[in-house]
Amino acid sequence: MDDTLLRVALVGGPMYDHLYRILDPNEVEVVVHEDHPTLNREVARRLAAGERIDVLATHSKYAPSQATWLLPLDDLVPAEALASLTPKALDLCRFEGRLLCLPRLIDVRILWVRRDRVSVVPRTWNDLVASQVRFGFPGRESGLFGTFFELVVGAGGALFDPHGSPTCASPHAVAAVETLRRLAERAPDDLPSWHYDDVDAALLDGRIDAAGAWPGAWGAIAASPLRDVLEPHPYPTGAKRWVSYAGCHGWAIPSTCGDIGRARQLVSTLIGADAQGIDAAGGNICAHLAAQRGLVATSPLDAARLEVTARTVDEAMITYPPLIRFPEIEDAGWSAIHDVLLGRSAPADAVAALQAAAETVLATRSEETR
């Protein structure tokens, strides 16, 4: 290990990797570069062992589970740098009053539809199920659990009560899993193996007619021969609410950091206007206010995408409650729903398994904090 290099752990994928060209290999060593679930597991292993990581890519929904290892950034980062960022994004990056990460981008889904195949765009989840539209969604991990979350909340339900106790075993939750099962039945057989990027690929390969996509999919859509037949629309509405599961990717400094000064400097660069402008050019909704204002649509299609996305952020964005052991609940939830997609269990069984797992995880946490 070269102690002169900053050790960084990065989330990987087409919507993220375009930014990393600004990292100087003479200054930075990339020690992890993986999809987010894999990144979380690898970082947890390394940090628990006391391994040096200087800068970490994380997410507002995962930062609470990493709180033990993250330095509060309120006093480490200059106030003027914080003032340049969207207040809503900063709020999402706080846990128990501490700023655990600095927002890189705001992630929220909108609906992309092939207008050459779909004559009437489904406006609600019920309309979508009743139609013949082949809709794609992530069939595993956080993308699957997030889609389930959207369906539950859109129908008027909740996974947790205001006190943080799990309320997963509800008719809303059973109906949400049933909706996912029915949509998967007319999608390609391999949907249960899809991650985020696989959904985008299936849309652009013509295997599905519509899909929910995060902003980072824009680069592939804009470069696709299908761009002239694809249209952005608001995400389907539930019976009670229009919602889109979202959050903020961000940058954190772990307590195992070996050079706080240089780590702070790198994070300040990564949240600055130039870096955030690179993210925005790749399709992401950056958190830097000036970079947001400077974003110019490159085409009428891009303008429509930005309009729908901005409206979704303002009106429909929902996030998980900040729970220290949320990743364990998410893993239990998506695994149970995944079994339904594979025909191994029924929706009610999946919901019961999620409720039991959430109760066990949160009860264990309560015991640990006594």
pLDDT at 367: 38
DSSP string, 333-349: HHHHHHHHHTTSS-HHH
Name the pLDDT band for 1 (thresholds 50, 70, 90): low
Range of the domain at 119: 109-245+319-368
**Residue reference for tokens 């709180």:** 67
Output the domain CATH number for residue 207. Answer: 3.40.190.10
pLDDT at 365: 54
pLDDT digits (tens, 9 = 90+) for 51-78: 999 999 999 989 998 999 999 999 898 8
pLDDT at 15: 83
pLDDT digits (tens, 9 = 90+) for 75-103: 898 888 899 998 989 999 999 999 999 99
Other residues' Cβ atoms within 10 Å of the Cβ of residue 49: 8
Nearest partner of 60 among 93, 105, 100, judged by Cα = 93
The verdict on 78 and 181 lying in the same domain is no
Instruction: Give the C-alpha distances (Å, rounded to integers) separating 27 from 63, 73, 76, 260.
Output: 25, 22, 20, 14
- Residue 259 pLDDT more than 90? yes
Give the end of a domain, one of 264, 280, 309: 309
- Return d(Cα 218, Cα 85) in angstroms, integer: 22
The verdict on 56 and 181 lying in the same domain is no
The verdict on 232 and 269 lying in the same domain is no
Find the mean pLDDT for residues 229-237.
Answer: 96
Give the end of a domain, one of 283, 309, 335: 309
The verdict on 83 and 183 lying in the same domain is no
The verdict on 83 and 174 lying in the same domain is no
Question: Does a structural domain hold residue 289?
Answer: yes
pLDDT digits (tens, 9 = 90+) for 129-156: 999 999 999 999 999 999 999 999 999 9
pLDDT digits (tens, 9 = 90+) for 292-335: 887 778 899 999 999 999 999 999 999 888 888 888 999 999 99
Residues 312 and 234: beta-carbon distance below 8 Å: yes
What is the enclosing helix (H) or strand (E) of 83? helix 79-83
Other residues' Cβ atoms within 10 Å of the Cβ of residue 48: 11
**Structural domains of the chain, count:** 2
Question: Does a structural domain hold residue 314?
Answer: no
Residues 30 and 277: beta-carbon distance below 8 Å: no
Residues 192 and 338: beta-carbon distance below 8 Å: yes
Amino acid at 187: A
- Residue 366 pLDDT more than 50? no
Nearest partner of 308 among 103, 108, 16, 115, judged by Cα = 108
- Return d(Cα 277, Cα 281) in angstroms, integer: 6
The verdict on 211 and 292 lying in the same domain is no
The reported pTM is 0.88
Question: Does a structural domain hold residue 208?
Answer: yes
- Residue 370 pLDDT more than 90? no
The verdict on 117 and 254 lying in the same domain is no
pLDDT digits (tens, 9 = 90+) for 151-176: 999 999 999 998 889 999 999 999 99
Other residues' Cβ atoms within 10 Å of the Cβ of residue 344: 11
Question: Does a structural domain hold residue 1?
Answer: no
Question: Does a structural domain hold residue 355?
Answer: yes
Average pLDDT score over the chain? 92
pLDDT at 368: 41
pLDDT digits (tens, 9 = 90+) for 324-365: 888 899 999 999 999 999 999 999 999 999 999 999 988 875
List, in sequence order, every residue forming a beta bridge with 177; answer none if it has no partner.
Answer: none
Find the mean pLDDT for residues 32-50.
Answer: 93
Q: Which token pair is 145?
A: 């659990």
Question: Does a structural domain hold residue 119?
Answer: yes
The verdict on 114 and 241 lying in the same domain is yes
The verdict on 223 and 122 lying in the same domain is yes
The verdict on 287 and 324 lying in the same domain is no
Amino acid at 89: A
Amino acid at 295: L
How many helical (H) and strand (E) elements, i.e. helices and strands, does the chain have? 15, 13
The verdict on 100 and 116 lying in the same domain is no
Residues 257 and 263: beta-carbon distance below 8 Å: yes
- Residue 216 pLDDT more than 90? no
Give the end of a domain, one of 288, 309, 330: 309
The verdict on 273 and 135 lying in the same domain is no
Amino acid at 307: E
